[in-house]
Amino acid sequence: MSGARVSVVVPILNEENVLPELLRRLRSVLEGLPGVGHEIVIVDDGSTDRTPEILRQESEGDERIIGIVLSRNFGHQAALTAGLAHTSGDVVICMDGDLQDPPESIPLFLEKYQQGYDVVYARRVQRKEAWWLRACYHVFYRLITALSGIQLPLDAGDFGLMSRRVVEQMREMPEYHRYLRGMRTWVGFKQTGLPIERAERHAGESKYSTLKLLKLASDGIFSFSTVPLRFAAIVGAVAMMLSVAYSLFALYAKVAFHRSPQGFTALIVAITFLAGVQLFFAGVIGEYVGRLYEASKGRPVFIVAKKFGKAAQRGKAASVMSAASGASR
């Protein structure tokens, strides 16, 4: 294995009980890698506990640790984006901060990188979450793959390796609503997956609520697929054809049998159903329009409040990253 410089990016939120163990295990892994210049970029996404203070103390005692504290909670994908903006390694490893992504898997990713792969993503196996959550993940990954215009890998999260050229391409993308695992696939280059057993959370509770999971799912679907819009058009066309067919039947019944079809209840049900369908697809269209509206504002994806370690010393990278600046390049 050659001495490629490795940057590990970890977004965290209220992980004071996990951070010391996370850094201990990451240090152990990086010390076993050849080469020098490895770094750990920890992005605090608006924690309200002692996480920022622990991060400051750890960065003072280890020059490999770069601490980035955001001005508020911007979300997991925005925090990952902030981390990517502050990396300098030849390869970048993205992982979660709850130790469900085992740091000891990093050498396996690097082996694939040495074989010529620019992206090596973890395919999650034997997840430890509740059965209903595992079922939701299973359905979501297959749904978004079926809807997307690109072949997104199944059961692949953010945990994985990206080469420097992939990271640079992703940093140029101006999306405001970011679904990084989809963007990683869209970039292309040579990609492969590794089966990685997902561990249990080391301590504390998951910061991904059901609402946040639904938002992430919608970001993935609406960012990489226009199928919902096309489906709306198909449903509308089918409804029109059924309406025309029923009109012709009513006309035939009137002319041939001198009576009109009865069915007040059926009429009310049909009107109510079609009204619901219209409102549903109006909401789908609204999602696309709303995302255009958010992107048009040109607001930053994240704002950095503090930097610890090397990032603070050399003022590396911008404090903000906006869709407007990305689009202007």
Q: Which three-class secondary structure string do you get for 205-257? A: CCCCCHHHHHHHHHHHHHHHCCHHHHHHHHHHHHHHHHHHHHHHHHHHHHHHH
Q: Are strands 156-163 and 91-94 parallel, antiparallel or unpaired?
A: antiparallel
Same domain for 130 and 247, yes or no, is no
The verdict on 189 and 234 lying in the same domain is: no
d(CA 178, CA 65): 25
Residue 33 in domain: yes
- Give domain status of residue 49, yes or no: yes
| In the block, residue with structure tokens 């997840």 | 127
Q: Are 293 and 323 contained in the same domain?
A: no
CA 58/CA 41 separation, integer angstroms: 12
Here the tokens at position 309 are 């370690």
CATH number at residue 34: 3.90.550.10
CB 99 within 8 A of CB 18: yes
Q: Is residue 184 located within the same domain as residue 290?
A: no
One-letter amino acid of 71? S
SS3 for 131?
A: helix
Query: Within a domain: residue 101?
Result: yes
Residues 156 and 42 grouped into a single domain: yes
Q: What's residue 328's pLDDT?
A: 41
Pair 113, 161: CB distance under 8 Å: yes
Whether 221 is covered by a domain: the verdict is no
320 three-state secondary structure: strand
For residues 178 and 271, membership in a common domain is answered with no
Is the same domain home to 82 and 12? Answer: yes
Which structural domain, as residue segments, surrounds residue 250? 227-297
For residues 83-112, give the mean pLDDT.
90
pLDDT higher than 80, residue 43:
yes
Is residue 75 in some structural domain?
yes
Mean predicted confidence (pLDDT) in 209-223: 65
Residue from 17, 210, 178 nearest 83 by CA: 178
pLDDT at 110: 92
Residue 221 has pLDDT above 60, yes or no: yes
The model's pLDDT over 28-37, given as tens digits with 9 standing for 90+, comes to 999 888 888 8
| Domain membership flag for residue 249 | yes
Q: Are 96 and 10 in contact (CB under 8 A)?
A: yes
pLDDT of res. 70: 92
Per residue in 258-277, pLDDT (tens digit) is 776 666 666 766 777 777 77
For residues 198 and 281, membership in a common domain is answered with: no
Higher pLDDT, 315 or 161: 161
Mean pLDDT of the chain: 78
- Number of folded domains that form the chain: 2
Percentage of the chain exceeding pLDDT 70:
74
Other Cβ atoms less than 10 A from the Cβ of 308: the count is 21
Same domain? 304 vs 290 = no
DSSP codes of every residue in 55-117? HHHHHHH-TTEEEEEESS---HHHHHHHHHTT--SSEEEE--TTSSS-GGGHHHHHHHHHTT-
Q: Which two tokens stand for residue 281?
A: 């697809």
pLDDT band at 320 (very low <50, low <70, confident <90, very high): very low
72 pLDDT higher than 80: yes
Please compute the mean of the pLDDT values over residues 91-96 and round it to a whole number. 92
* Residue 218 maps to a domain: no
Query: What is the per-residue pLDDT for 26?
Result: 92
The pLDDT value recorded for residue 323 is 41
152 and 248, same domain (yes or no): no
With CA atoms as reference, report the closest residue to 326 among 148, 175, 119. Answer: 175
pLDDT at position 286 is 77
Query: What's the rounded Cα separation, in Å, for the pair 5 and 11?
Result: 20
Is residue 76 domain-resident?
yes
Tell me, what's the pLDDT at 93?
94
Co-location of 170 and 262 in the same domain: no
Q: Label residue 207 by pLDDT band (50, 70, 90).
A: low
Indicate whether 178 and 293 sit together in one domain: no
pLDDT at 138 over 70: no
Encode pLDDT of 139-180 as tens digits. 666 666 666 666 777 667 788 899 999 998 888 887 777 888
CA atoms within 13 A on the CB side of 157: 21
Q: How confident is the model at residue 287 (pLDDT cuts 50, 70, 90)?
A: confident
124-129: Cβ within 8 A, 24+ apart: 124/155, 124/156, 124/157, 124/159, 124/196, 124/198, 125/155, 125/195, 125/196, 125/197, 125/198, 126/197, 126/198, 127/198, 128/100, 128/198, 128/199, 128/200
Pairwise CA distance, residues 40 & 6, whole Å: 8
The pLDDT score that the predictor gives to residue 92 is: 93
Residues in the chain: 329
